Chain A
Amino acid sequence: MGFQAVKFYQTGTFTVGNRLLAPDERSLQSVETRSNSINSGHRACQGCGEALGARYAIDAAMAESNNQLIAANATGCLEVFSTPYPESSWQVPWIHSLFGNAAAVATGIAAAMKVKGRPEVRVVAQGGDGGTTDIGFGCLSGMFERNDDVLYICYDNEGYMNTGVQRSSATPPAARTATTMPVGPEPGNVFGQGKNVPEIAMAHGIPYVATATVADLRDLEYKVRKAMKMHGARYIHIFVPCPLGWGTASHDTIRMARMAKESGTFPVFEAEYGEVTGVLKIRHKIPVEEYMKPQRRFAHLFGKNAHPETVARIQAIADRNIRKYGLLEDEGN
């Protein structure tokens, strides 16, 4: 992977900070002067992966742009929990317009900055998976196609969570949501539908596409900073577990993200101009079952009326990811 992984300093680069590393080798999140772009007092649920992912990403973008950053936000959890009238958690210039137009709003801001002769001001757009993969998809694709100078960040928690956990096109197969009930011969969300937006973004041939998780902070920061160094349309898809929607313990959010990556369920990679240039390897491979079992949205696949064949299909998807992206260290390495 791109950032320099430190081999052996007790915890190496696995932890947020590390007193044994030189200060400039530590993560941004370990520094007291991080911008805390999204401040305390926000109303995200306990253990919210999205609140965490947004702070990780926007703090990194702030640092890379010397705090000259404007953020456009789609409707969604992030918008709702951060700005209930009359409070805002944001400590960056931030704008919310509609559910589906965050990419277009950001494009407009970028164009305005260009006209005003303010090239130092950088623009990010952000939204959940609903606002990105479903509702805002047209605006997003347009932004990619025009190669507008915007970094779009999608926080993927695999469903519409603040409205009561409905299915999105990022909801995984077999998962229970309010709209994909665990009933019938093939309970939960259907197989073979939904979309892989990182790959669709790559298909636009834009300068940079990357995936990341809240469990790999150093990788996430590296990718945001790298994206901010580039111009044109860029897309980062961050995996942010949702305790409420997934039925997991609030303290397990990072653990779930880690297991998604370690099982191959969520491949972590980066791509430039449509070509994969790096992957974050699996460190200790686990079966998908280990990742799924703690989640109540998959509970119907286990226990008394188990569906091992469904679990096997999900395992096959993970195995395909591992093969396709080369997620395992080469043999003999």
Chain B
Amino acid sequence: MPNKPFAITLKPGTSLANLTGTWRTTRPVYLDRLPPCNNACPAGENIQGWLFHAESGDYEQAWRVLVQDNPLPAVMGRVCYHPCEGACNRGQLDSPVGINSVERFLGDEAIKLGWKFNAPATASGKKVLVVGAGPSGLSAAYHLARMGHQVEIHEAGPLAGGMMRFGIPKYRLPREVLDAEVQRILDMGVTLKLNTKVENIALSMKQHGFDAAFLAVGAHIGKRTFIPSGDAAHIIDAVSVLRSMEGEDKPMLGRKVIVYGGGNTAIDVARSVKRMGAEPIVVYRRTRDKAPAHDFEIEEALQEGVMIKWLSTIKQADAGAITVEKMALDDKGYPQPTGEFETLEADSVVLALGQDVDLSLLEGVSGLEIVDGTVQVSPNMMTGHPGIFAGGDMVPSERTVTVAVGHGKKAALNINAWLNDATYEPAPKHELAGFDKINPWYYSDADKTVRPMLDIIRRQTSFDEVQGGLDETNALFEARRCLSCGNCFECDNCYGVCPDNAVIKLGPGKRFKFNYDYCKGCGMCATECPCGAIKMVPEET
């Protein structure tokens, strides 16, 4: 500034010469943290990831991100017990995001609009046998097909779906939904052989030249218990009852049906027979809060008029009646007999005491380890026999559709690696985006959208689906309740709140970066980031 008077005129913006970044003792860094929903999902879904697309109304892209992990969203949106919602940070603000209902909406949109899976990768030339067309087998088949392997599913039953068809009642999962999602997997070129029971896995693999096998035969044998009974007592297991609901011949149970057990299967049976006009009574030895069934299912059953006798065991079953003994919980919460008895009318007793696995196909296979009737697998889902993997209800784990789907995916990844003489190394998990990482101020207040429920009379008398779905408007609303925990959703807060203009905006979809020449390390961006996608780390000295 040669012609300007000394110290009177300064050039605009010349403070850029002063690199205030040297003041910094801690620096902000962008990171992706693990959203609690993703962390809780047994199927390993990137929930936050697909909700992100649903938020902007791009449902197809949302669905495509979803099915990268789970090929059965419309099924999931109905039968999953959504542990994601239990973990959702929004639950600490008002109520969790209705992840499950948005998933169902996406699944239903896909069926309605006929979205198909992307074509598989180039053929690998490897053949994989999947035994069982339940959720685990279907999931494995889908993922293996996507990786380019030739997949054949051998299913012992007459239809695909496994427990999704023969265990879960229609009022929770309409069969046309299941059929549509199974068909979409088969459309990828997966071969399904029905009524094909694998008697001997080693033999089947050898005969048909399979390079690997994934076993997912489920647990279809109803557990029995000893109940002293007269000759005329009608005792039947829950799996058989639910399976026969699918066929032409509905089970003959009579009017007074006692269901013995406190799990989801017991509730499913009771609600199913209620719909057939019977009067079910569930008998369970412990209390409601100790019952393994999900509380909302118990609640829905009670609403439909299912009777439940808590703290009761069956001592004796005779024709037309049973004797139950009242129990009391001891200090440790175990039920103890009280010596008080009661007689209940009973035309039949349905045992819903859990299920066992039919392991007959494994006879003669070397290296297997069976504990408590389940096949032991290593962390990569492989049994003790190289090349034979297993998952779903036949391995030790929680027995839900979602867990099974997760097993299928995990097994597929490991089978793929094994077929390529490699080891599958999952990417290290990001640190958890707990509620303490969230700045809740920035989120609009909005309570969860409640899904419509079928009216009670139709619930008691028909197998129509109980829970309705969301429509486009409220699905979008529900998606937009997502806090996007731990993952930048480009709200521009960091860009706006920096007093030093030290955040560079890279444009839509490209997020931001810091200009460390000027960032003083005040940390405002990290504090005001709504979703916890910025972390302050000590500056290296």
- Chain A residues with CB under 8 Å of chain B are 7-12, 14-20, 26-27, 29-30, 32, 36, 39-44, 46-49, 51-52, 55, 82-83, 85-92, 217, 243, 249-255, 258
Contacts and interface: CB of A to CB of B under 8 A. Distances in A.
Interface in B1-57: 7, 10-20, 23, 55-56
Interface string B453-495: 0000000000000000000000001001110100001111101
A10 B482 contact: yes
Most-contacted residue by chain B among A11, A49, A52, A89 (CB, 10 A): A11
A243 B19 CA distance: 21
Interface residues of B, number: 54
Q: Which of A40, A85, A90, A253 has the most CB of B within 10 A?
A: A40
B55 A41 contact: no
B508 A82 contact: no
Contacts of B493: 15-17
A284 B379 CA distance: 48
Contacts of A16: 491-493, 495-497
A87 B489 CA distance: 36
Contacts of B508: 19
Interface stretch (B184-192, B255-263, B522-530): B522-530
26 contacts: A8-B477, A10-B481, A16-B491, A17-B496, A18-B491, A19-B490, A19-B491, A20-B56, A20-B480, A26-B492, A39-B15, A40-B517, A43-B20, A46-B23, A46-B520, A46-B521, A49-B499, A52-B499, A85-B10, A86-B10, A86-B14, A88-B10, A88-B12, A90-B12, A251-B522, A253-B499
A88 to B, nearest CB: 4
A29 B496 contact: yes
B483 to A, nearest CB: 8
B141 interface: no
Contact of A11 (B444, B497, B524): B444
Contacts of A15: 442, 491-493, 530
Given A14-B443, A87-B14, A91-B12, A39 B524 contact: no
B515 interface: yes
A55 B173 CA distance: 57
Nearest to B496: A16
Given A19-B56, A19-B490, A27 B496 contact: yes
A44 B443 CA distance: 30
A16 B46 CA distance: 26
- Which applies to chain A's interface (DSSP): helix, strand, loop or mixed? loop
Interface of B: 7, 10-20, 23, 55-56, 441-444, 446, 477, 480-482, 484, 489-493, 495-502, 505, 507-508, 515, 517-518, 520-524, 526-528, 530, 536
Nearest to B494: A16
Contacts of B12: 39, 88, 90-92
Contacts of B502: 40
Contacts of A85: 7, 10
A9 B3 CA distance: 54
A224 to B, nearest CB: 15
The 4 closest A-B pairs by CB, nearest first: A17-B492, A16-B496, A251-B523, A41-B15
Given A10-B444, A40-B16, A253 B524 contact: yes
